[in-house]
Amino acid sequence: MFKQVALISIFFVTNQAILLASPPPQPEDVKYTNARHELVSKLKERGILDNAVLSAMDKVQRHEFVPEKYRYRSYEDISLPIGKIQTISQPYMVALMTQAIRPKSEYRVLEIGTGTGYSAAVLAELVKEVYTIEIEPDLAKTADDRLKKLGYINIFVKTGDGFYGWEEKAPFDAIILTCTADKVPPRLAEQLREGGLLIMPLGRDYSPQTMVVITKKNGKLVSRPLVEVQFVPMLGEIKK
């Protein structure tokens, strides 16, 4: 009887403690938070000057999107393998591409190449809606589940070929391709609103590529180079 009463008392006291105060951050959480702050400082030094973008990069927990075996490298400014011969993009590239579309709170953005969902999460902190397409079904489902678990209600994931875009949700204020192609898929050009921006790595597979910013003016595409890059290739219809 004495043992039972003691157990009940401990349970009661423990519950009282939980109600009175949240548990202190665990060492692992602190480590990730500090590493994320340091990463954002480095991004600023490299020319990411949009405060809203920097704030989004500081808020989104990249380690939640990185495979377990590489999680200790989550806040290094590098791309990391995610399976299916794909990668989670380098944070600098995510920030650069996001900054390049000059995001606004009312924007609706289409992303081609969901991957783990990290780039979509960063965008979702800045714009009204993100529509993201992933050609690999397993990656699409995992990303969708992860984003929902993390509470993102303004991200919509679709399994499919990004070459065709998402016609029923067009037009988009901006379109971001996280994979390279040697031309702009025509359907994407059609789904970009007048005055909208399309950001993509332009070039051949596994060779030097150029990140370009494309503006739609009077129905035509006007391009300017941004930086030399190396991205994984776009798959699907574009290869035919």
What structural domains and CATH numbers belong to the chain?
A: 2-239 (3.40.50.150)
Q: Is 30 exposed, middle or buried (0-12, 13-18, 19+ CB in 10 A)?
A: exposed
- 89 catalytic per annotation: yes
pTM, whole model, 2 decimals? 0.87
122 and 59 in contact (C-beta within 8 Å)? no
Query: Considering 74, 79, 89, 119, which one is annotated as catalytic?
Result: 89
Mean pLDDT, residues 167-187 taken together = 96
Residue 190: how many CB atoms within 10 A of its CB?
A: 13
54-85: per-residue pLDDT in tens?
Answer: 999 999 999 999 999 999 999 999 999 998 88
Please give the mean pLDDT across all residues of the chain. 89
